[in-house]
Amino acid sequence: MMCQFTRHLAVCCAAFGLVAASSVNALTLVVADNAITGITGLEIAEQRYDVRFTDGAFNAVYPAAWSGYGPLARQVAQALLAATATLQAAPNWNATLRPRGCQSADSCTVLIPEQADAAAPHARMMQAVEAIYSADRFSTVPDPLWPFDAATDTQYMPDMLYAIITPSR
């Protein structure tokens, strides 16, 4: 009898552990100062990534010796588009939220660098995938890459910002 109880307890604990682990990895909207500062747990090809929104210049916001996300850039943009309904269901969601750095009332372009002509902090030009945020959602991901001067600071551009992607922990 005691052995059966112990076995049931072990099964329950294992199930609880799986639920707890999957909830830690769930898609989460990160909000601070009435802005979307990031999204954690964005799933792409069975891996999870965190996205942080920021203003600055390519050469200043990305680490030295880095030159772009390659094909991951478009996958991240598409995943943001696909995740909109889930993000809007988050408990900390409201329709006035915009990604941090987005000050335009109409729409903002989130730049996700695919490649640069050199590594940061020495790049001159970079090519980026755009994820367009308009109204209260990520609405489109245009096909062509967008050329952008790597020294231009998006802090002075109310409708542009960068996305920084890292693997989730």
The phi, psi pair for 139, rounded to 5°, reads -110, -35
Both structure tokens of 9: 């307890």
Q: What is the b/e burial string over 118-155, where b = at least 16 CB atoms within 10 angstroms of the residue's CB?
A: eebbebeebbbbbbbbbeebbeebeeebbebebeeebe
DSSP state for residue 68 in the 8-state scheme: -
From first to last of its 169 residues, the chain has per-residue pLDDT tens of 544 433 443 333 333 333 333 344 589 999 999 999 999 999 998 999 999 999 999 999 999 999 999 999 999 999 999 999 999 999 999 999 999 999 998 899 999 999 999 999 999 999 999 999 998 999 999 988 889 999 999 999 999 999 999 999 8
Nearest to 99 by CA among 145, 24, 150, 158: 158
